[in-house]
Amino acid sequence: MEALKIGIVVSDAMGCLVSPGLSKAPVRYKELEKAFNLCAKSGYDGVELFVDKPENLDATKILALAQSHHLEITALGTGPMYARRGLSLSAEDSSTRSKTLSALRHCISLAESFGSLLTIGSIRGKSRGGDSRLKALKRVGEGLGILDEWASHQGVKVLLEPINRYETDLINTADHALSMIKNLSLTSTGLLLDTFHMNIEERSISDSIRKCKRSLLHLHVADSNRWPPGYGHLDFQQIIQTLRAVNYEGYLSSESLAKPDRVTAVKMTATYLRGLIKKSLVQTE
């Protein structure tokens, strides 16, 4: 059985482990190269890029930089487009939804160039509460349907991520995300699960992984306090054993706070996860 691969989120968001200058104008590719170098030297197999202005990125240059450091580009994260630009699939304003879909179409093209996944997390937005929640969910569903069709034509997989109730009131659990995919008959959309969100919303992380095994394409890892794995109370050895049991072939992609400091977190996360993966291999022999 092959060892699981580990990756890390590369983002300019405050507190993120690796800051690459992707949100600067113009894009600071020297910063990106330094970020890739740190990831590669720390032992990661891939990087997950969080973007807010996909139309500004040179896919050929970024892919060449990643390949020169023997890194895969595992996924494109879209959260910064919501946090910084206010783009949202659930926005009441049709102009905002149109701009959101246009930006996400750029992301699909980038993902096709990189051979990566495309994540839909916080960019779904949130409702204003009350009756508007159902209307907001309907708008999200309409957007997901459009994205799924575009992605299918370009050979890209879209990932729907359940996010905890304190950050959004739309799609909080794995069950709800699975139901959305099924009810909308989405054929190019799978699941991205995140251990931090699951610790809040799921009764059992391992049971939810087993339930989602056919749709799970990517996994974000952070501990119970959003610190790197090993700094909280989550049982990552059990999580990895469960992933092996369901024949998961995707990445363990670190999305945690830069605690106790950026460099330590990057290096210790890789060391910790590698140790657990190695132990799981021994246990299955």
Tokens found for residue 35? 């970020």
Polymer length in residues for the chain: 285
The answer to whether residue 2 is catalytic is no
DSSP string, the chain: -PPPEEEEEE--STTBSB---TTSSS--HHHHHHHHHHHHHHT-SEEEEE-S-GGG--HHHHHHHHHHTT-EEEEEE-HHHHHHH---TT-SSHHHHHHHHHHHHHHHHHHHHHT-EEEESGGG----STTHHHHHHHHHHHHHHHHHHHHHHTT--EEE----TTT-SS--SHHHHHHHHHHTT-SSEEEEEEHHHHHHH-S-HHHHHHHTTTTEEEEEE--TTSSPTTSSS--HHHHHHHHHHTT--SEEEE--B--S-HHHHHHHHHHHHHHHHHHHHHHH-
Catalytic, out of 33, 201, 202, 255: 255
**Residue matched to tokens 């997390």:** 121
The answer to whether residue 161 is catalytic is yes
Instruction: Please answer whether residues 89 and 139 qualify as being in contact, where contact means their C-beta atoms are separated by less than 8 angstroms.
Output: yes
Catalytic, out of 33, 72, 161, 202: 161
Query: Active-site residue numbers?
Result: 161, 255
